[in-house]
Structure 1
Amino acid sequence: MQFENTLEFARKLDAEDNLKKYREEFHFPKVNDEQVIYFTGNSLGLQPKRTKKYIDEVMTDWKELAVEGHFYAEKPWWDYHERLAAPLAKIVGAKTNEVTVMNTLTVNLHLLLVSFYQPKGERFKILCEEKAFPSDQYMLRSQVRFHGFDPTEAIVEVNKRKGEHFWRTEDIVKKIEEVGDELALVLIGGVNYYNGQVFDMETITKAGHEVGAKVGWDLAHAVGNIALQLHDWKVDFAAWCSYKYMNSGPGNASGVFINEKYLGKKGIQRFEGWWGTKKETRFLMKPEFEPMENADAWQLSNAPVLSVAPYLASLSMFDEVGMEALIEKRNKIVAYLEFILHEIDKEVDTTFEIITPKERGTQLSVFLHGEGRSIFDYLMKNGVITDWREPNVIRLAPAPFYCSYEDMYRFGQILKNGILKK
């Protein structure tokens, strides 16, 4: 398609958008009494309007049923989380029994490493990407220290090539092969938070398995953003938060994938709790742990229903639309945003350098050469909610559920005015 940098063209694209009605399903903040242009769904998704109904249902049941809500609410609390497994399985490419929702992201990664990082002899190293998200770095370092290893020896980082802003799959595979028999675990962010790169998860997972390592993925920036086939790729485990592209609210519950080959096994090492034991005998209060036959075996406590309810609300929209339609719009709106950036680049002295490679999802990370923090402040004051990373990178994530093509055009004009007014 031949794009145009005009308001009329942007509105034409919006008129043709099959998902345009979903924009009205979300609450937008306002700046200067106008609805914002929201580019930070990669950090915190907007609130779906239907969320309140789901929370109110739980509050009403709590008010009217109290403890009996566990079994007699319209959506009984004791199995509330089970309603999320099927729609999430579609999104991540898993079987329903391989998916559960519990805790929060880093908590779940720690719990999963109890099962999937078990260093023995010379096989003790963990491979990750350089400058992984800080929480992952802290988690990995504390895990290897817990097992008695020095993080500088046990953690192997794959670097980008000098002068490049992205990782090459062949470099990751080569590093896996180099570490070889010493490698216990590969754990990488499926979509890098900084540059927006989508990693070749299938190839990297296969390479890790070929040297005898377990392979897991932090999918915080991937779920609800890109196509995933965790089961078919034979991923061992994965975890993700729900408050970015999944729109479930700040700090909300985390999803977990555990490959079915690890399910239904009593002997597997893990930390155990009441909600992981069989439903049929759970209330008999037996002293022996009898694991659920699905990923719920990794649950510890009963689900925080007031947190899970917004997640279920958001998943109902994903179920209505499907990832294929979201990805189709994602590709088109990101392409239009990239076009707008190149067009504005021709009209100003600043040089825009998009550091996100072609393997991308919703996010574009852009170097604004010659600009400083002041341009970010200008955008924010003029109703563009975006993200600034030092020294001069803005991250733009036009979430397809609620961002419009007119937003992309208007952003370009605001950006241009901010640069020209210096």
Structure 2
Amino acid sequence: MGTIGLFSDDSSDSEVEVQTKIIEKRVVERKVIKTVKHKNINKRHTVPIIKHSKHVKSKGIPSYSITLPVNPLIKEIRKTQYVNGWRRLSNNIEKESWSEANFKIKEFEDRSINIKPSFNESLQKEIEKTQRNLSNLTIWGKTIREKEIQKMNKMNDRMNKEIEDCIKYKKQQEDLIEKKRKEEQERKLKEEKEKELQRKKILEQQKLEKEKAIQKQKQEQEAKLKEQQKLVKKEEEKKKAAPNDKQAEKEVSLNKTMAFPMAHIINIIFNSHEPFFKIFMGRLYKKCIYLIPRYGYKTKDKTDEQCLKEIGYKKTSEGMEQESRYNERMEGMITLFSALIQTPNSSGNSKLDMKTGWTWLARILNIPPRQITSLALITFLEIAGNEMINVYGKQMHKILKFIINTYIPMAPKESIAATTRLKLFIEEYNKKGGRIDPPKGKNFN
């Protein structure tokens, strides 16, 4: 900026270079010549060279020291190629004497000293001008630096404020989020408490309903027991006055252990009176059509009373007999049939055997179950199940598996008591490892 014109003149620059080189060479050569006069030129020697002229001091030229090799004067002069006078001097130095060399050097020094004094003054002015420009530059730089520092401080203050605002905003947002989270958490806790209360209320209601249902069941069972007790008493009274031809039916229905002795007696009669077999089986199938097996069907032509008579219901003075009494009679006749098929015949030609039982079981399982079916199956299995396992083994096991997995789910809801007995019987069979205990009264001998 302020230094554009400094040393812009090529002549001043060349003059300074020339002057500096001449002074340096003059000092060096002069000192070398003086030293060489008094010392042996063939020896290496280090000599300090110092010029104490006013001109050199004003230029600030420092002291010099050189190392003189063999024939140093010739070597130094040959190195100097800047001035033509020195070239000629170096060519003729060996021929001329020391006095002539000194005279020429002195003459050269006088000629080189006569440099324009105006050069030093212009140089000084340029230096002062440069210093002024430098001082101006430093002042200008300081002002710019101060202004920039002020700007930077302002920007820093503004940025600090923005950062503080951002931090405040962030804190506010975090507080809002935390508040919402707490509210959401409280709401969820409240909902969970309400759900828990509702769940407890539902459980309490269910408990109350279960207790009520249990109480009802107990009351119903007690009522049924009372009715059964009354019926038993009535039957006992009737039994005393009943004719002898009804004795077998009633005894078996009341006591199942009597089935095997009666089956043994019937087998003896079969052997001695063959027509008795057909008469007996006809009466048995008429009294209990489920041994065929067959079910009654209601049609438009038949009344309810006719349908009940067809399946074996008896008419009394009070009307048709009750279902419980009917089930007992059917159970007694199925028990007698189950005892007959496994009672051995003394002649060995028994017309009722385990094949008859297997055929009946297969046929009844191929018919969709009715209300009486579960009772018929459990009665047959309790009396003849042990012998069926002994005779048919794995095949009987498959039949029992089919009953519990397929047939029981098809049973009507009205036969829940008999169906439960049947299910528990098969589960007990599985727990015992595929074994059924023999019925009571089988070995009566």
Q: Structures share a fold, TM > 0.5?
A: no
More helix per residue: 2
Q: 1 or 2 for the larger relative contact order (CA 8 Å, sep ≥6)?
A: 1
Larger of the two Rg values belongs to structure: 2
More strand per residue: 1
